[in-house]
Structure 1
Amino acid sequence: MRFLQRWLVVVAVAVCSVVARADAYDGKPKLVVILVFDQFRGDFLDRYRADFKAKNGWNLFLKQGAHFTDCYYDYANLITAAGHSTIGTGAYTDGHGIPLNEWYERGADGKLRQVSSVQDDRYTLVGAPAGTKDLTGASAHRELASTLGDELVLATGGKARVYGVSMKDRAAILTSGHASKGAFWVDHDSGQWETSTYWMKQLPTWATEFNASGAADRARTEGGVATGLSFYERVGRTAASVRYQLDFAKALITNEKLGQNPAGVPDLIAISVSSTDINGHAFGPDDPSQKALVVGSDAALDEFFTYLDKTVGLKNVMVAMSGDHGVATSQVSADAMGMPALDFPATSFTEPLEKALQKRWPLKGKGAYVITMDNPYLLLNQAAFEAAGVREDEAENATRELLTQIFAGFASTSTTHDVRQKDVPVLTHAYTSTEMREGRLPDTQYGRLVAHSYSPYVGWALHLNFGPYQFPWHGSGTTHFSANSYDRHVPLELFGAAFVPGTYHGVVAPVDIAATFASLLRINRPSAAVGRVLTEAIKPEAAGSTWVRESATPHTAVK
């Protein structure tokens, strides 16, 4: 009996060892891919998954990777530049500083000017088409935190190669970071790829050849867009633009030999596909064209990941996929489904607000008091208030008081009807920059979301939130920016040898990508990172893994 018991124990241990080895992994990838689909709400993949047929398209994540159904941003300024910074840095706006795509600053001449999140007057564009009027360059200098790519470069003594690719400059730059070898984006009219002298004085030969290859013209033809129309606005709405961006990424990976680093360290590429944002703004998330674009991206992704399998080997690649923000249902779609929603012009409240402010404090020059409503921030003109002798807290509090009165007036105009009417605009929350900066916010979920949205770049301002599916907007489509769940909900997908395939229903956040990948890569987290390591989706590490073998190797002391 004792012999039998011992024999069973030995067998059990042996079986467990085999299972452990089968589920374990060798945790050192050759290539890290951070893939972002712009304006890609978190329900899209499950909503359309029956239409995904390719093995290595969306099913790379849904069937072969870790699929998180409940990924939500924990801040309240759901904007492209902020979202890409958050993915790259693993921090929110109060950590990385990027609040909006553009904001306003006083120039050296004292005049107020709009600046973009990546604009850098010290550099110029490289590869821009002849005749381009504005050649102002770009960099990540306004991003006040390091990215995952930056930390990988530092950890490898500069040997890791990091790149960013997107149709949008801010998406290519802010996700990849400061220490990247290059970031590339497109000229809006022509679709030609360009960069900035921050990285290089001229385009690499392969990029010049790609621009001359006719790829942009083929994308126009495939997308059914006539010559002369904006490549970004028109071709950018189609699945042809998804393939165009991924084809450029393939050219970069091939020619820069990413995943084949001679130093034996991982390389990283951040790719942001802008197409879903361009089409989504025009038509909304429920329009058939948006479903067609998401489903049409399946084949392009399959081509891209199959290419990686042949060149680097998918077993050597670690991928994270997410979105920079979600999106609200459009007014048109909501009306068709019987859901109250409202798009309304910002001027409906900014114009009466300006009049009320001028009545209280007559202007003393320096322009109007209200600069603009740049969702979710109402930006105020500091110089105009100071000329009138008004302090920041006084200006912001008075603005909120007047806004509250204006929105109350919308509600008081309601009358009785026997058919359904559009709702009136509702202002649910308004907090001042002073309150955000000083931490004078309620101890609630919303207070936390607003706290994470603070940036000194917005200056004197109010952070506003409106009723569900209500948004200041112009045109027929939709937008994103709010603290509401639909704007904060995005996918989080992980693929690679380190991950246990399956569906995970716990709440996670995009900031967890940088934390998880930094842990697996054995590098420092980005400087302001706040996410957690997604240990529930990570396999046990094999006893003979690269990291274990290397840690057993004696190191020569640095003299």
Structure 2
Amino acid sequence: MKKLFLLIFVGFTFIQCIAVKSSTTTATPVKNSNVTVVEKTNQPKTKLVVGVVVDQMRYDYLVKFYDKYGDGGFKRLMNDGYNLKNVHYNYIPTYTAVGHTSIYTGTTPVNHGIISNNWYDKYEKKSIYCVDDASYQTVGANSGGNKSPHRMLTTTITDQLHLAQNMKGKTIGIAIKDRSAILPAGHTANAAYWFEGGDVGKFISSTFYMNNLPSWVTDFNNSGKANNYLNETWDTYYDISTYTETLPDNNEFEGLFKGKNTPTFPYNLAELRKTNGNYNLIKGIPAGNSITTDFAEAAIIGENLGKSDYTDFIAISYSSTDYVGHQFGVNAKELEDTYIRLDKDLERLLNFLDTQVGKNKYTLFLTADHAAVQVPSYLNSLKIPAGYFNASEFEDYVNNITLKYFNSSDLVEDISNYQIFLNKDKIRELNLDVHKVSQVIADEIISFENVYKSVTALTLQSTSFSSGILQILQKGYNQKFSGDVLFIPNPSTVTYSKTGTTHGSGYIYDTHVPLIFYGNNIKQGKSDVYYPIVDIAPTISSLLNITEPNGCTGTTIIEVLK
């Protein structure tokens, strides 16, 4: 009897030891279908997730301007968080709407359906914008708010957090650009706010989310912050002579504000706003990032984010970096100063989160929606191959192909985003085979100057590319929405002006972006391991112990989690 009692006691003790060990073990994500299961941990619960997307930020800006940053912004994230140095977009095209959607859905256009910012709708026979939705009205202004995320076909990590908490907790998206606020916030967001320029100068929303702006938004809009920023002078934060990382202030590769004869500091904003769209000007200067930070802080206070029993999510996109890059290029003094000032805004945001939410109660990730190419005309001046794609000449070239082979110049309906959409009605009328027409065009356009690769939709549907630039193109191809022939320009070749820069390709200069995780349940460290951008959403899912977005194709970055 004593032996039996002893055996029972030992067995019960062993089971208790296992239970204690299980409840205090560190997080170990385990992939199982579309659900990432994480063992219980003794880490405190994340009260607020902060997603930060810097529009058009190349990875090398972290390194290039490192010595100009203070200790509390980018450096704090890099040194105290987990810095992933080899993160890339794994699809074409690398545009703003597609980037934000892919970050938050954990998948590529193949599944989520956002194939560009604007694209040709082959069903409606017109160009459409990614978040336009005539079903809804503007809230907070007379126009600019007929928007929703309805074109995004899958859920986001923000949606999944809401679903996991039975619609408790709050999700808010904030940006200067509408698409950068709407798409990350998802279908179930409590709110998305974006800045309406022109003569409005306010953050607005859509009846998709609400019928009236909350009082804290109205108070912010009435505070005069936007007007105050535009009554200042934009000069360099430090002495311009110390800005040795970029080209001379006055060079031929930068664009101009209307009313300026040279692209040089200082910029009298009070004067420039008169000829540059009034409040639109704030989008293209560092103050656009500053007012975004101001508004994010107001949102956290106004909505009591991070204060309830549930996990909240705020998605912040810094859009002005993109406007500055487009106008001045990646080697401009204006761009360098913009990142120096963004660093200060990040420091302010982090200090605010420490105080308002608590140092161990929030988790933040910072990344970019795409990077950007060196100004091609600048590369040409250095005898580096680069160029400009002539869209009108290309259209004539394609029409001549169809005229030569099929005796018709009416077989192409639209050419946009480096895609050719065929006129199926005309092809049927002429008793032609659409696949033959597509293949002939794909074979012939490779001879056009600056076309590097061309492929038909049928090939992308029937062939699996395992590597190279065509694999990246394939991940961005959506059978329902994309064109009939897709092509890729030569490296460093763009459809753009000869000043300033742009993006959109699958080349490394457009795909390589920063990714830093920071805060609660995140390790301190760095890694050179390659990760695709679609791994962010499942990693946040693992952190929060919730189901991944329903189209997710990424996997958890295990090494960043405690």
2:442 corresponds to which of 360, 378, 400: 400
Using the TM superposition, give the Cα deviation of residue 357 of structure 1 relative to its aligned residue in structure 2, in angstroms: 2.1
CA distance in 2, matches of 1:459, 1:520: 34
State the partner residue of 1:246.
Answer: 293
Give the Cα–Cα distance (whole angstroms) in 2 for the partners of residues 435 and 319 of structure 1.
Answer: 40
The 1:481/1:513 distance shift into structure 2, 3 A limit, reads: same
Map 1:264-279 onto structure 2 (within 5 A): 264-279=309-324
- Specify the SS of the correspondent of 2:80: coil
Match of residue 255 from structure 1: 302
Looking at structure 2, the residues matched to 116 and 457 of structure 1 have their Cα atoms a distance apart, in angstroms, of 16
Establish whether residue 38 from structure 1 lines up as the match of residue 83 from structure 2: no
Q: What secondary structure sits across from 1:63 in the alignment? A: helix
Distance in 2 separating the partners of 1:233 and 1:397: 44
1:378 to 2:416 alignment: no
The answer to whether the 8 A contact 1:42-1:490 is kept is yes
Does 2:214 align with 1:204? yes
Please tell me whether residue 444 in structure 1 is matched to residue 467 in structure 2: yes
* Residue-by-residue CA offset, 1:454-487 (whole Å, 9 max, x unaligned): 1245343322212221122234222111121111
In 1, distance between residues paired with 2:122 and 2:488?
A: 27
- DSSP 3-state at the match of 2:135: strand
Matched to 1:305, the amino acid is L
Q: TM-score, normalised by structure 1?
A: 0.82
**Cα deviation digits, residues 172-204 of structure 1 (max 9, x gap):** 111111010011112232432111111111211
Report the CA distance shift for 1:233/1:330 in structure 2 as closer, same or farther (over 3 A): farther
Shift of residue 206 of structure 1?
A: 1.5
**Partners of 2:431 and 2:128 in 1: CA distance:** 27
Counterpart CA distance in 1 for 2:411 and 2:224 is 48
- Alignment partners' CA distance in 1, 2:230 and 2:411: 43
Query: Tell me, what secondary structure is at the counterpart of 1:458?
Result: coil
Shift in Å at residue 319 of structure 1?
A: 0.4
What secondary structure sits across from 1:350 in the alignment?
A: helix
Structure 1 vs Structure 2 CA RMSD: 2.2
Per-residue CA distance 1:72-91 (angstroms, 9 max, x = gap)? 11112111111100001011
Deviations 1:8-34 (A, max 9, x none): xxxxxxxxxxxx99xx96142110011
Which of 177, 191, 194 matches 1:185?
194
Q: Is the 8 A contact 1:441 1:447 kept in 2?
A: no
Whole-angstrom distance in 1 between the partners of 2:151 and 2:213: 24
Q: CA separation of 1:219/1:492 partners in 2, compared to 1, >3 Å: closer, same or farther?
A: same
Kindly indicate whether the alpha-carbon contact (under 8 Å) linking 1:345 and 1:473 is maintained by their aligned counterparts in 2. no
Q: Which residue in the other structure is 2:228 paired with? A: 218
How far apart, in 1, do the equivalents of 2:278 and 2:462 lie? 44
* Cα deviation digits, residues 196-229 of structure 1 (max 9, x gap): 1111112112212222211111221234433342
Q: Is the 8 A contact 2:411 2:424 kept in 1?
A: no
In the alignment, what sits opposite 2:168?
159
Conserved? CA contact 1:439–1:451, under 8 Å: no
Single out whichever of 28-37 and 460-469 deviates more from structure 2: 460-469
Q: In the alignment, is the contact (CA less than 8 A) between 2:137 and 2:207 conserved in 1?
A: yes
Counterpart residue identity of residue 490, structure 1: V
Match of 2:273 among 222, 227, 246: 227
How far is 1:489 from its partner?
0.6
Identify the residue that residue 360 of structure 2 maps to in structure 1: 315
Local SS of the residue matching 2:499: coil
Stretch of structure 1 that moved more, 495-504 or 334-343: 334-343
TM-score (norm 2): 0.82
Tell me, in whole angstroms, the C-alpha distance in 2 between the residues paired with 1:292 and 1:102.
30
CA distance in 1, matches of 2:523, 2:486: 40
Unaligned runs of 5+ in 1: 1-19, 411-424, 540-559
Say yes or no: does 1:352 pair with 2:390.
Answer: no
The amino acid that maps onto 1:313 is G
Aligned to 2:105: 89
Given the alignment, which residue of 319, 341, 359 partners 2:386? 341
Hey, what's the Cα distance between the residues in 2 that align with 1:435 and 1:271?
A: 38
The equivalent of 2:85 in structure 1 is: 69
Change beyond 3 A, Cα 1:432–1:498: same
CA deviation profile, 1:373-404 (whole Å, cap 9, x unmatched): 32x43344444444444443233212212312
Deviation of residue 531 (structure 1)?
A: 1.8
